[in-house]
Structure 1
Amino acid sequence: MSGHGETDWSIRLARAGDADALPAIERAAATMFERIEALRHIAAQEPTPAERLRRYFARGHCLVAEADTGTPVGFIATEPFGRELHVWELSVHPDWQGRGIGAALLRGCIIDAGNSRFTAITLTTFDEVPWNAPFYRRLGFVDRDTADNARLAQELAREEAHGMPPGSRVAMVRDLP
């Protein structure tokens, strides 16, 4: 897949060798939260460690967006839970945002998950942040009542215990055919 703009980019499967470069992308993307008073602390949080990213990549369902120079500019990190594929992180470097890279990573994930016979893609995200839940809703995700999914309920509780503002996060799902 290629994007528009002065430099082309493409999407490919993530490789173990990508992991060391990706926390910097996640950290840069998190600076977007500095614009939101109640969520400024998110910008200072530690990104997903490279070692954990390598574990996710070994499962085979993570994607990287790279510039035509070969430099990673975004990624989606996922993990299978039974027949559901959970999105842990979707980040695009701010210099590369607004080009459809995040949507392409998510669409690639949806295609891969469907081809791999997953029944759904799940995630947790901020309900009101424009580039969070509203973005996912435009790509076919719907809010999930966590009474229907104990794993997602536990994840939201864990996030709140680690400092996320109560009620700010939502569990979402995109069922696959």
Structure 2
Amino acid sequence: MVRWADSSELAGLVAVELAADRLFEQVGIVFPAGTTMIEEVTDPDTVLVEGRPPAGFALVGWVDGNLHLEQLAVSPESMRRGIGGRLVAAVGDHALASGAPAVTLTTYRDVPWNAPWYERHGYSVMPSSEWGPELEKLVERERELGIEVAPRVVMRRLTTG
């Protein structure tokens, strides 16, 4: 069952993120040191989790008036059980309940469990001409951190219609 994280669970989510990040090595992507996102989170109200202890999480924030999925990670040993799909659905439900017109995210275009996976969950590539100023800054910040080590895209899923 997807729920909001307890503050006592935040530290344990680092291991989930690092384990999930190691899977990218299979497609030649190695993340630069210091780019783990969950380590900096102090507010459990920005993290949806599933499991006790959590086997996966979705970190969310707000960008240009849309809910933004900052990070989605599932422990490799818990993958292929629908956890990621349930987390993405919960993010969409939260966006709708919060009045956000859309959910946005950035992801790798050609990694099978990234853009193609999100497309199966109703997301589509968002052209740069439709990015707001905060999203532009976010993409630029990812470039500065060295995360753009393979082609990336911005994706969006509208919360209605």
Same fold (TM over 0.5): yes
> Residues 14-39 of structure 1, C-alpha deviation per residue, up to 9 Å, x if partnerless?
222211100110000011111112x1
User: Aligned in 2, Cα 1:82/1:158: closer, same or farther, shift over 3 Å?
Assistant: closer
What corresponds to 1:3 in structure 2?
A: none
> Residues 97-151 of structure 1, C-alpha deviation per residue, up to 9 Å, x if partnerless?
0111001000011111101111111110000000011111111111011221132
State the aligned residue count.
159
User: Of 93, 101, 118, which residue of structure 2 is paired with 1:111?
Assistant: 93
3-state SS in 2 of match to 1:131: coil
Q: Say what the alpha-carbon RMSD is for the aligned residues.
A: 1.9
User: Of 5, 23, 26, which residue of structure 2 is paired with 1:35?
Assistant: 26
- How high is the sequence identity, in percent, across the aligned residues? 31
Counterpart CA distance in 1 for 2:57 and 2:38 is 14
The 5-angstrom pairing of residues 7-86 of structure 1 reads: 10-37=1-28, 39=29, 41-42=30-31, 46-50=35-39, 52-55=40-43, 57=44, 60-66=45-51, 70-81=52-63, 83-86=65-68
User: Aligned in 2, Cα 1:33/1:166: closer, same or farther, shift over 3 Å?
Assistant: closer
Identify which of structures 1 and 2 has the higher relative contact order when contacts are C-alpha pairs closer than 8 Å and 6+ apart. Answer: 2
3-state SS in 2 of match to 1:86: strand
TM-score, normalization by structure 2: 0.89
Rg comparison, structure with higher value: 1
3-state SS in 1 of match to 2:41: helix
3-state SS in 2 of match to 1:54: coil
Counterpart CA distance in 1 for 2:102 and 2:68 is 9
- Structure 1: gaps (5+ residues): 1-9
TM-score, normalization by structure 1: 0.82
- Structure 2: gaps (5+ residues): none
